[in-house]
Amino acid sequence: MSARLTMTRPDQTPHALHMERRVYDAARAYMDAHGYPPTVRELTQAVGYASPSSTKVRLHDMRHRGYISFVDATPRTLVLIRRP
C-alpha cells in the first residue's frame, strides 16, 4: 500500500493567502485580456515566481479550498470560482 502525497497545507498564513490572491488576480487579468485561461508557465511569469512548481502548489491549494477548478495535466482548463 502506498502513501498518497498531498500538496495542500492546512496552515493558511497571511503570506500564503496574499500569494493566492496574486495568482487569482493574475489569472483573472489574463482571462479578461485574452478570453481564455493562462497556462501554468504564463501564470508563473505573470506572478513572478521562479518555478512553475510554485505556481502548481498554489493552484492545488486553491482548488482544495474551492477558489478555482481545473483538470489535472490539461492546459488552459482553469476556472475561477471565487477570490481567496
Angle at 15 between CA 43 and CA 60, to 5 degrees: 45
Q: What pLDDT, on a 0 to 100 scale, did the predictor assign at position 11?
A: 57
Rounded Cα–Cα distance for residues 55 and 46 (Å):
10
Q: pLDDT tens digit string along 58-80?
A: 999 999 999 999 998 899 999 99
CB 79 within 8 A of CB 68: yes
Q: What pLDDT, on a 0 to 100 scale, did the predictor assign at position 9?
A: 53
Query: What is the pTM for the complete model shown?
Result: 0.82
Q: pLDDT tens digit string along 32-58?
A: 999 999 999 999 999 999 999 999 999
Q: Identify which of 3, 4, 7, 5 has the alpha carbon closest to the alpha carbon of residue 60.
A: 7
Give the Cβ contact number of residue 55 at 10 Å. Answer: 24
